[in-house]
Amino acid sequence: MSRAVRFSEFGPPEVLKTESVERPAVAPGAFLIRNESIGVNFIDIYFRTGLYPAELPNGLGVEGAGVIEEVGENTTHPQGLKPGDRVAYISPGPRLPGSASYAEYSSVPAASVVRLPEGVSAQQGAAVLLQGLTAKSMIEVTTDVKKGARGPRRGVALRGDWVLIHAAAGGTGQLLVQIAHQLGARVIATVSTEEKAAIARSLGAEEVILYGRPGIDVAVEVQRITGGKGAYAAFDGVGQTTFEASLASLGYLGWLVSFGNASGKVPPVDLLRLSDKGIRLLRPSLFSTLKSRDGLFLELAEKLLADVASGAVKQGVHKEYPLEEAGQAHIDLESRGTTGKLLLKP
């Protein structure tokens, strides 16, 4: 027997229960992984509340890191992974029985598993993989950006362009700031406190806007900073409360990359509103992006973890919770008062 977090109804964090369950059987084409660290993400909240559909009862979690215990039938991997290897992974979670990561053991498709480089801990792997892949895929794949690119503008964050990144001290926000800055973009970050502003600046943000303060209008501030040209891109994982500001902050042919619902779902949008400036609206999904090309997960994950190993990419950890406190981790994440990543320890 082993422990896992389960839920049998949609609802608040209190629906999450830690239960004694059978250890999942390793599926063909999969690895059975003994989890050492588990990432907590907003997508877990979306499944818990029913915003994203899931069968009930079910488990939660789409990200973790640990050690391979068993190899499933007909399982191969380009890195030659075997029992005892240290790995990180993303998984279908509630969409595939046995793969949810809020557990001591998870059976994970081999195509979504990557070796942890020497010197990168399980905590670092679980903290950075999902959100790091989200950030890299949005900037480097979905919008087709290349460092120092010139010529026709096919993507965001070309060298010298201003980009707006909301919730820049959060898990994905911190990684977006670093990657965009390294690619030559000039980053405008939005945060809620001076402490978070210092974090954003330390990661490469050139300008920081403290939203929620009296008299502060994010769009007005962006237009001031950019000399009236507007931002070339806005990366918005907050959703309902920031979407209008993101739209008003953009310049001509700008990109609005709406990738999250931290404050609630974005209301329906009249597409004619995009025509005044020729705005390009994207709603990217990491899992859909990774399905677009064979081998893309491993390609991006190896680069990301190499950057973590070298220190080029850093991800702060807000707190690590015991598995039994998954509900409290959700409460803290939903409060939007955290900085960096939240982890669970089995």
Asked if the model's pLDDT at residue 148 lies above 50, the reply is no
Token pair 């992006």 is found at 289
Residues contacting 235, CB < 8 A, separation 6+: 138, 163, 164, 165, 166, 176, 180, 257, 259
Q: Where in the chain are the domains?
A: 2-127+290-344, 158-284
DSSP assignment of 80-128: ---TT-EEEEE--GGGSTT--SSBSEEEEEGGGEEEPPTT--HHHHHHH
Q: Are strands 113-115 and 162-165 parallel, antiparallel or unpaired?
A: unpaired
Beta partners for residue 162, in sequence order: 186
Asked if residue 254 lies in contact with residue 158, where contact means CB atoms within 8 angstroms, the answer is no
What angle (nearest 5°) sits at the alpha carbon of residue 106, between those of residues 105 and 111? 145
Each residue of 110-128: pLDDT tens digit? 999 999 999 999 999 999 9
**Residue 58 pLDDT > 50:** yes
CATH 3.90.180.10 fits 2-127+290-344, yes or no: yes
> Is 50 exceeded by the pLDDT of residue 156?
no
Backbone CA torsion sign across 298, 299, 305, 309:
positive
The 10s digit of each residue's pLDDT in 207-226 is 999 987 888 999 999 999 99
pLDDT score for 10: 98
Provide the CATH topology of domain 158-284: Rossmann fold (3.40.50)
Smallest Cα–Cα separation from 6: which of 102, 90, 124? Answer: 102
With residues binned 3-state (H G I as helix, E B as strand, rest as coil), the percentages for the chain, rounded to 5, are 30, 25, 40
